[in-house]
Amino acid sequence: MPHRIRILLQCSVTFAVDDWHVGRFSLLADELARLADVTARDRAPAGIDGDPVLLGLSRTEYDEVWLLAVDGGTALTPAECEAVNGFQRSGGGVLTARDHCNMGLWLRSIKGAGSAHFFNDPSCCEPDSSRRVRDDRETASIDWPNYHSGKNGDVQPVTVVEPPHPLMRNHRAANGRIGWFPSHPHEGAVCVPATDPRARSVARGRSLATGREFDLVVAFERTPEEPWRAIAESSFHHFADYNWDTSKGAPSFVTEPEGDAIRRSPHLLDDVRSYVGNCVEWLAPDSDRLAGGGDHDE
């Protein structure tokens, strides 16, 4: 009988009370724990050899790594990124999530999913030059890419890309699809890299500021040559406690007005919870055996 899925939920920063440490993703960790054995941790203080858990990533310990790139852009070292790449080559699944501008810029060193992340950097801007402008203009300190999908505490409608991917199924919904994600005033940019045929967009949002569509999720299928699945997320705010329950609070540098849609209607989180379960199953190295998504009630 297959073992229970093992997940490393890894924040890219060392612990600081007033930052996006892993404790600010406790609701995600709880949701993951319904389906898997979860290790949730922050980056260890940097030493000569870097973070020992990241450098020692192995399929003997974990089946999936969920990388929350909550840093300013330079958190993981080349050696640590190569360890993640080695984990992928051995079949491990990887989810990557960042946010606006150059948060998590080091993700570009992650093979596969890293190539779907685009930043405010000449070497890795969005291919469409018309998008290299501020979308959200309300927070002057935050530069592009910064797609405005709504207030923290509210939700955004999700457009499922045809044909529906297993990640976007919700058997409890009337139409069988994920329909809502938590929103955020300034999401980052992900899109399908032109050079990777394994990749496809599976979900899109629409800016409340400009009306532009933008990708929310890009998924990478495994192949015999590249035997891992991966996900690129436009924002870690899809998963943060603050975006599921604003009463949990946020670091002091988050100053935008809060929304109250989720507080008034907690069922709006049903879709993202189903999505989390879909990610767990789809990313697992033995996921071809699994039914693949939707109804994860126990």
Residue-wise pLDDT for 170-194, tens only, equals: 999 999 999 999 999 999 999 999 9
Burial of 253 (0-12, 13-18, 19+ CB in 10 A): exposed
pLDDT 10s digits, 234-245: 999 999 999 999
> Do 23 and 41 contact (CB within 8 A), yes or no?
no
Residue whose token pair is 């958190």: 75
- What percent of the chain lies above the pLDDT cut of 70? 94
Q: How confident is the model at residue 34 (pLDDT cuts 50, 70, 90)?
A: very high
The whole-number pLDDT of residue 2 equals: 67
**Across all residues in the chain, what is the average pLDDT?**
94
pLDDT 10s digits, 65-95: 999 999 999 999 999 999 999 999 999 999 9
Average pLDDT estimate for 22-44: 97
Separation CA 108–CA 103 (nearest Å): 11
Can you list the domains of the chain with their CATH numbers? Answer: 6-289 (3.40.50.880)
Average pLDDT estimate for 38-45: 95
**pTM across the whole model:** 0.95
The whole-number pLDDT of residue 48 equals: 63
Average pLDDT estimate for 13-37: 97
Give the closest residue to 185 by CA, choosing from 207, 213, 212, 216.
Answer: 207
